[in-house]
Amino acid sequence: MAQPSPYTPGAVAREVPGRNRQLAAIEERLDLLATIGRLVPRIRVDHGPRGVGKTSLLRQVEQRAKAKDADTIWVTAGESSGLVPAIADGAERLVRRWPAKMKERVTEALSHLELKVTGGVPGVASIEAGWSAAGGRRRARGATREFEDLIVATTQASLDRKHSGLVILIDEVQAADPASLRTISYAWQHFQSERRDLPVALFAAGLPESVGVINAAVSNSERFAYRQLKDLTPDAAAVALANPARQLGVGWSADALDAAVRYAAGYPHTVQLIGENAWQHAGFPDSGATIKREHVEAAAADVEEDLRELFTARLSKVTRQVELDFVLAMARLGDGPVRRSTIAAEMGKPTDALGVPRSRLIGAGIITDSSHGYLEFTVPGFAAFVRDVHDLELVEED
């Protein structure tokens, strides 16, 4: 009886090894809400490059919130209607089946918010449209109170049902509209001074540019707590490979595991790909079987092909010459993080001329800020791919 692969390439991870530090901090915040019944005063934002595990982490937060009897609203930012209307939709769906008596105030708050946002014009569900029509900012503050009322009413209804409170989860927060981000941060600022006993929390995840997007939209960015989500350590990658197999009674030989961990280089997406392909090459093993080094080696060839497809698709997004030059210069400089000034020198340009291509490449998910003044390709192996395709030599270090 062949067993299907327990790995999850391209899907939410069931378990998130290597994220204990994040989860411990989140767990503590959730306890504040569920056990002590308090507001979680800061909005935590976990940010990192494509495929690093942001959605999987946020789904863990959702599960843990539910395990603590909280009600949850999950929203993916970037819908045309805006983030606040999307949260309102989520609240409406959440309370839909609750007894009328409990959801009365929520329904009322929803209609007030909708009126404010659309100005009573049916079909204009965009919060930005409602505001710009009324002259921007002043109106935005107006909608903040309606949004607050909705959150208060929903949280209260949750408590009435003997649940512990409300947890809102926002994925892809870099795509949120600025007006909604402002509304949310004002609301949290008011809660912080007026409603500290309101058991509500908001957690977000997004690409690295989330930080810039939020800071540009709000004036009180200290309401947000930014945390960078990084690649997995070798130990975490080993656990991510070994655990799902062990649960099916399948082992990994030590050298197979070493080879797979080395190959994945800490990138969660590659961890899942190599795991899945090794599982296939081991013949969808039954309980009692072992994944061996030769399975990993055969798998690596397949993953290579998958990754080349991914890389080709990404590289095809780089259409402007200056961006391509940027990528080529980075690839010539090696596989790890590269200093911004070194890239500029390699391109024969002043460092401050690179701001635009840099942010466009970050937006396209090709590169990411690794630490101050350093840039890095988002997926391990991309530099070698670019050198290969464009027939480039590594620049000798001096």
Ligand X SMILES: Nc1ncnc2c1ncn2[C@@H]1O[C@H](COP(=O)(O)OP(=O)(O)OP(=O)(O)O)[C@@H](O)[C@H]1O
Question: Which stretches of the chain bind Mg ion, using CB under 5 A?
Answer: 54-55
Dig out the tokens for 218 from the structure.
Answer: 């709000």
Q: How far is the CB of 359 from ligand X (least distance, A)?
A: 17
Indicate which of Mg ion, ligand X, none lies near residue 53 (CB less than 5 to 8 Å, by partner kind): ligand X
44 vs 182, which CB is nearer to Mg ion? 44
Indicate which of ligand X, Mg ion, none lies near residue 8 (CB less than 5 to 8 Å, by partner kind): ligand X
Q: How far is the CB of 149 from ligand X (least distance, A)?
A: 32
Q: How far is the CB of 85 from Mg ion (least distance, A)?
A: 21
Q: How far is the CB of 356 from ligand X (least distance, A)?
A: 23
269 vs 340, which CB is nearer to Mg ion? 269
The answer to whether the beta carbons of residues 356 and 364 sit under 8 Å apart is no
195 vs 269, which CB is nearer to ligand X? 269
Dig out the tokens for 260 from the structure.
Answer: 């797979």
Q: How far is the CB of 59 from ligand X (least distance, A)?
A: 8
SS3 state of residue 285: coil
Q: Which amino acid is at 284?
A: F
Dig out the tokens for 347 from the structure.
Answer: 């391109």
Indicate which of ligand X, Mg ion, none lies near residue 9 (CB less than 5 to 8 Å, by partner kind): ligand X
Alpha helices in the chain (DSSP H): 20-34, 54-67, 83-95, 100-118, 127-133, 137-160, 178-194, 210-217, 234-246, 254-264, 268-281, 293-315, 321-332, 340-347, 355-363, 382-389
Residues that bind ligand X (CB under 6 A): 8-13, 16-19, 50-56, 232, 240, 268-269, 271-272
Indicate which of ligand X, Mg ion, none lies near residue 380 (CB less than 5 to 8 Å, by partner kind): none
Indicate which of ligand X, Mg ion, none lies near residue 127 (CB less than 5 to 8 Å, by partner kind): none
189 vs 280, which CB is nearer to ligand X? 280
The answer to whether the beta carbons of residues 112 and 146 sit under 8 Å apart is yes
Indicate which of Mg ion, ligand X, none lies near residue 139 (CB less than 5 to 8 Å, by partner kind): none
Element (H, E) at 364: none
The answer to whether the beta carbons of residues 6 and 41 sit under 8 Å apart is no
73 vs 207, which CB is nearer to Mg ion? 207
Q: How far is the CB of 210 from Mg ion (least distance, A)?
A: 12
- Spatial CB neighbours of 204, under 8 Å, sequence gap ≥ 6: 43, 44, 45, 46, 58, 169, 170, 171, 173, 210
55 vs 370, which CB is nearer to Mg ion? 55
Q: Which amino acid is at 363?
A: G
